[in-house]
Chain A
Amino acid sequence: MSKLILGTYAQRNSDDHPPAYAPGYKTSVLRSPKNALISIAETLTEVTAPHFSPNLFGEKDNDLILNYAKDGLPIGERVIIHGYVRDQFGQPVKNALLEVWQANASGRYRHPNDQYIGAMDPNFGGCGRMLTDAHGYFIFRTIKPGPYPWRNRINEWRPAHIHFSLIADGWAQRLISQFYFEGDPLIDTCPIIKTIPSEQQRKALIALEDKSNFIEADSRCYRFDITLRGRRATYFENHLT
């Protein structure tokens, strides 16, 4: 066979994702469409995506411990997070833009709308970004975020989590989610995690302690892999264009 011709992305399995309307997460009630989504056959619009130049990245963009430090180090647990981004067929996703954001060790966000009493850290910003390499690998360094309270029910608390966003090869792969840390007891009670229908998929958002990759007298390490939608190959008629 000659050159590989790619078709469309495999359809998103909606059962593997939260529904839009999830009344236990109260804000979703007025922010979810009443109509069903309309599924379309993909075109070039959906299988293309922007490219991001590594030249525009700074040296500390993936180092949340140092990228906002002013007069010292931020306070909190030093952790390294690493893993692989692959598509559903197991292929590495290369040069994908991975962006992350999070609260500080107190569970406080550097955001004008966060008024939680947990202390701000003048040496911690809480955002970072990186491109995956040729193997789909990524790595960043940060302070482990604290859990924080929020108004859903009055005493709701989010487990420690890091938000992440991916822009990869096709617009259809565009994904924002959050990952959690192995062993956190708040994971079982969180109404945002519970919007995900299956136990197996909830587990897919838990970063695992990676002991052999701890760095002595320095940092612990968590392993977290991400799966995006994948494209099928075309061996017969190609209807994409």
Chain B
Amino acid sequence: MNNWNIQEMKETPSQTGGPYVHIGLLPKQANIDVFAYNYDNNLVQDKTEGQPIRIEGQVFDGLGLPMRDVLLEIWQADASGAYPSTADIQGKQADPYFAGWGRTGADFKTGFWHFNTIKPGQVKGRKGVLQAPHIALIIFARGINVGLNTRIYFDDEIQANQEDPVLNSIEWATRRQTLIAKRENHENEIVYRFDIYIQGEHETVFFDI
């Protein structure tokens, strides 16, 4: 061991969000009316560009039971593949009517969750390789000590998915399927179903990002 030390701080350690995570992050779901403006699961405004879609699903524990106290957040690019963030260096103008982020809680009875959003465009990946359209998703809940990061891809983007650098970095090719949302036929709406299996058979791929 060296007796010298690089002076750097350690990241604050994570702790579980606990069963009452809604109080702080979705007060309306806990019937608390404190804020004039509340964050929610609708990313689409009147003037937002792109194809509106609904993404829905459930999160299952190691016994296959839906987790009814989970909190989920998504982060995604706009329809042209630009992030509404100053850290996006692609040089494209991001849609001024798109925040790119939303938050929701599973239903306390059924465990179903959903987001109303738009289908993201393709974003540049490392060394200029395009990534397939995708949405970053993070899951917090009682029993989860560190938020679980995953990605949602789309089953009608076959070619782009085959060329996606992140999907292709998953050595166990059979596990890549766990990240692909299934398009469903609904009358007036495009719906993608994305179920998340925290543990066991069909376990969803989780990333250290």
Instruction: Chain A residues near B32: list those with CB within 8 A.
Output: 68, 110, 125-127
Are B15's CB and A205's CB within 8 A? yes
Q: Is the CB of B11 within 8 A of A227?
A: yes
Most chain A CB within a 10 A radius of its CB, from B32, B90, B165, B209: B209
Q: Which of A131-139, A163-171, A181-189 contacts B (4 or more CB under 8 A)?
A: A163-171
Please name all residues of chain B whose beta carbon is closer than 8 Å to the beta carbon of A88 when the two chains form the complex: 8-11
Q: How far is the CA of A34 from the CA of B21 in the complex (A)?
A: 24
Task: Report yes or no: B14 in contact with A177, Cβ–Cβ below 8 A.
Answer: yes
User: Is B147 a contact of A56 with CB atoms below 8 Å?
Assistant: no
Known contacts being A112-B108, A125-B32, A171-B209, is A18 close to B143, with CB within 8 Å?
A: no
Q: Which A residue sits closest to B23, measured CB to CB?
A: A101
Contact A196 B13 (CB under 8 A): yes
The size class of the interface chain B forms with chain A is 35 or more
A49→B85 contact, CB < 8 A:
yes
In B83-140, the 8 Å CB interface with A consists of 83-90, 99-101, 108, 123-128, 131, 134, 136, 138, 140
Determine whether A208 belongs to the interface, using a CB cutoff of 8 Å to chain B: no
On whether the beta carbons of B30 and A111 are closer than 8 Å, the reply is yes
Interface-located stretch among A8-16, A72-80, A212-220: A8-16
Cβ-neighbour of B134 out of A19, A45, A239 (below 8 A): A45
Q: Which of B15, B86, B175 has the most CB of A within 10 A?
A: B15
**Residue of chain B at shortest CB distance from A240:** B126
CB neighbours (8 Å) of B173 from chain A are none
Chain A residues with CB under 8 Å of B169's CB are: 38, 40-41
Name A residues whose Cβ lies closer than 8 Å to a Cβ of B: 6, 11-14, 16-20, 22, 25, 27-35, 37-51, 56-58, 61, 67-68, 86, 88-90, 99-102, 109-114, 125-129, 163-165, 167, 169-172, 174-178, 192-193, 195-196, 200-202, 204-205, 226-229, 239-241
Instruction: Give me the interface of B with A, judged by CB distance under 8 Å.
Output: 8-25, 27, 30-32, 34-37, 61-63, 67, 69, 73, 75, 77, 83-90, 99-101, 108, 123-128, 131, 134, 136, 138, 140-148, 151, 165-166, 169-170, 175, 198-200, 203-209
12 sampled A-B residue pairs with Cβ under 8 A = A31-B199, A39-B208, A45-B77, A46-B209, A48-B85, A109-B20, A113-B19, A164-B24, A165-B17, A165-B25, A171-B75, A227-B12
Inter-chain pairs besides A11-B208, A17-B145, A49-B101, 11 sampled, C-beta below 8 Å: A17-B146, A18-B14, A20-B148, A30-B63, A31-B61, A31-B62, A33-B206, A44-B89, A46-B136, A165-B17, A176-B21
